[in-house]
């Protein structure tokens, strides 16, 4: 892995970011990211008789939506929000969901990439959330990327969407269906290096 120093020093970075003397047993680690889903969608492999060449749908329109997703492996919990834009306002709404889901007297360390709407000071508006950026160019450290891969391959590839509302409906259906599986988030997103105690 390219970013061994980040992994090695992760616990210390969390301790430094939290208020002094915070009990690490009262800290939840969340991974956060966004993905775009739309009419210019993904094409993925499909089953077909040997020797045949199946046709896949590829639209030319440009309607799309963004899924904001966050996963807490220790709690086996994930929170999602489907929005028309990926921007600071959307990020604040997503963090509001995480803040509400964080139990009283606990903190949520939210690990995210360095998109512009993740690095603005405007998102630091929740007392129980500590934003923590990933190193630059390190998507492999964010297991939510695997969640996107699963959702897109199983539910959202090789599709034609009529309009924005259908995109939102399909995204919500995919998010809700994939998270019905017991321990799905824990199995997919757990990493030894995020264990604080």
Domains and their CATH numbers in the chain: 4-40+61-191 (3.30.420.10)
What's the confidence (pLDDT) of residue 59? 47
Q: What is the pTM of this model?
A: 0.87
What's the confidence (pLDDT) of residue 55? 64
What's the confidence (pLDDT) of residue 15? 95
CA distance 133 to 6: 10
What's the confidence (pLDDT) of residue 56? 60
* pLDDT lower than 70: segments of the chain: 1-2, 39-48, 54-62
What's the confidence (pLDDT) of residue 49? 82
112-150, pLDDT tens digit by residue? 999 999 999 999 999 999 999 999 888 899 999 999 999
Strand partners, 33: 69
């Amino acid at each position: 892995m390219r970013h061994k120093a980040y992994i090695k020093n992760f616990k210390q970075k969390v301790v430094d970011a939290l208020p002094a003397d915070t009990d690490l047993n009262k800290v939840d680690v969340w991974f956060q990211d966004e993905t775009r889903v739309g009419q210019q969608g993904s094409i993925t492999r499909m089953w077909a008789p040997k020797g045949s060449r199946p046709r896949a749908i590829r639209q030319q329109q440009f309607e799309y939506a963004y899924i904001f997703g966050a996963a807490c492996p220790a709690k086996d919990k994930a929170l999602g929000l489907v929005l028309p834009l990926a921007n600071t306002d959307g990020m604040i709404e997503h963090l509001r969901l995480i803040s509400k889901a964080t139990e009283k007297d606990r903190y949520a360390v939210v690990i995210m990439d360095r998109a512009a709407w993740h690095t603005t000071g405007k998102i630091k508006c929740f007392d129980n959330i500590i934003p923590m950026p990933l190193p630059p160019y390190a998507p492999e450290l964010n297991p939510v990327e695997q969640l996107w891969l699963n959702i897109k391959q199983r539910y959202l590839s090789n599709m034609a969407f009529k309009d924005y509302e259908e995109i939102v409906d399909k995204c919500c259906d995919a998010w809700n269906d994939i998270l019905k599986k017991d321990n799905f988030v824990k199995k997919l997103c757990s990493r030894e290096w995020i264990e604080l105690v």
